[in-house]
Amino acid sequence: MRPTPHLTTLFVLALTGLSTCWAAAQSQPGSAPSPFQTQGDRHMGDYEGIWTLGPDSGQPLCAHVVSVEPGKYELVLRPSFTDPPPVDARLEGHPEGPSRVVFAGIDPLDPALRISAVLQDGIIEATVSPDYGGFRLERARRVSPTMGAKPPEGALVLFDGTNLDAWEHVPGAGAARPCRWLMLEGGVMEVRDGGIITRKHFTDCKAHVEFRLPFMPGRREQQRANSGVYLQGRYEVQILDTFGMPALVNGCGSIYNVAPPRVNMCLAPLEWQTYDIIFRAPRFDPDGKMIVAPRLTVVHNGVTINENQPVPGPTRASLDANVTLPGGLHLQDHGNPVQFRNIWLVESAD
């Protein structure tokens, strides 16, 4: 009986569906075109299908196609979209004409096995040699189960697309200024002119935030669609285009430089995504000494990626270190035009 190749042992069925939400953002007169005024890369996104070893043998498989830079792609094969892979299988790719991308690489656990794949018209077809079958993948569409979630009774609506009244710019050398982020069609606001923070401050809370990353091919690492959600202005849940990357301690969904996500749930740029964050503020004894560190639970696109994670202190670029005081919800301006919508918060003492 033919042994199962190592790469097939990596792949398990996983799929939730995926939704592409293309919203048209408008630039102000005379400004540079917005990275959202594009359909992105026609090949970029998620795919799923079956790896077939024979007429009666097949295993589910999923993949990301990442537009690394113009003329360069990666095909990332993983066990599922919601479970961390034991190892990534990454194939480099390059375009052959406007509608075709060719990939090639090896099984990371068995370098004797070579994978050749072609992406054309939304379908990936591949062979694995010597004599280990192949796979066929088609476009997949995922959507967060909390996308568009309505604020529950008693919630504080921080942004519903009608006004920016709940926010002000982070104070610099002078006093805080009213929020001047761009208001766009579809109940969307876009980063510009500095970070913002809620006028109201909080201790324990549960926050829902929807965000969308601009398509920035050619940018690298922290320059690729960077922003962040800071609880109390001190503890950052990172926003970054790390679509198709490993789970990084400074990647999307991480508690910045404290804890990587359990699995990287970042969708492709231009897709709407969700954070549902539970924050428990630090506790102090009567003398002001911290006896319980702040804790964060982060649910990214419906999957818990950090659970009850202690945070030893304010993360990098926090607004202050006054950890005994309540603080606002801060959305960071890191120089990239990230978009937000449907933000609400529930104050909680549990």
316-334: per-residue pLDDT in tens? 999 999 999 999 999 999 9
Q: Would you place residue 203 in the very low, low, confident or very high pLDDT band (cuts 50, 70, 90)?
A: very high
Mean pLDDT of the 45-73 span: 88
How far apart CA 214 and CA 317 sit, in angstroms, is 22
How far apart CA 177 and CA 219 sit, in angstroms, is 31
Mean pLDDT of the chain: 87
Q: Are 197 and 170 in contact (CB under 8 A)?
A: yes
Q: Are 118 and 126 in contact (CB under 8 A)?
A: yes
Residue 38: the pLDDT is 54
Residue 194: the pLDDT is 93
Residue 18 has pLDDT above 50, yes or no: no
Residues contacting residue 31 through CB under 8 Å, at least 6 positions apart: none
Residue 140 has pLDDT above 70, yes or no: yes
Query: What is the token pair recorded at 293?
Result: 């560190």
Residue 347 has pLDDT above 60, yes or no: yes
Identify the residue with better confidence: 54 or 273.
Answer: 273
Q: Are 78 and 63 in contact (CB under 8 A)?
A: yes
**β-strand pairing of 295-300 with 89-95:** unpaired
What are the two backbone dihedrals, phi and then psi, of residue 134, each rounded to the nearest 5 degrees? Answer: -170, -175
In 3D space, the residue among 141, 122, 146, 83 whose CA is nearest the CA of residue 268 turns out to be 141
- Percent of the chain past pLDDT 70, that is, above it, reads 87
CA angle 216, 256, 227 (to 5 degrees): 35
Residues contacting residue 135 through CB under 8 Å, at least 6 positions apart: 49, 50, 51, 52, 61, 124, 125, 126, 128
Residue 260 has pLDDT above 70, yes or no: yes
208-248: per-residue pLDDT in tens? 999 999 998 877 778 789 999 999 999 999 999 999 999 99
Residue 84: the pLDDT is 86
Residue 90: the pLDDT is 92
From residue 54, alpha-carbon distances to 61, 114, 132, 150 in Å are 15, 18, 9, 48
Residues contacting residue 55 through CB under 8 Å, at least 6 positions apart: none
How far apart CA 273 and CA 266 sit, in angstroms, is 8
Least confident of 20-29, 46-55, 230-239: 20-29
Residue 16: the pLDDT is 30
Residue 22 has pLDDT above 90, yes or no: no
Q: Would you place residue 111 in the very low, low, confident or very high pLDDT band (cuts 50, 70, 90)?
A: confident
Mean pLDDT of the 20-40 span: 45
Query: Tokens 């104070």 sit at which residue?
Result: 171
Mean pLDDT of the 168-177 span: 78
Q: Are 110 and 5 in contact (CB under 8 A)?
A: yes
Q: Are 224 and 216 in contact (CB under 8 A)?
A: yes
| Burial of residue 139, with CB atoms counted within 10 A of its CB: 0-12 exposed, 13-18 middle, 19 or more buried | middle
- Element housing 119 (H / E): strand 110-120
Q: Would you place residue 43 in the very low, low, confident or very high pLDDT band (cuts 50, 70, 90)?
A: very high
Query: What is the token pair recorded at 18?
Result: 């995926």
Residue 55: the pLDDT is 62
Residue 37: the pLDDT is 55
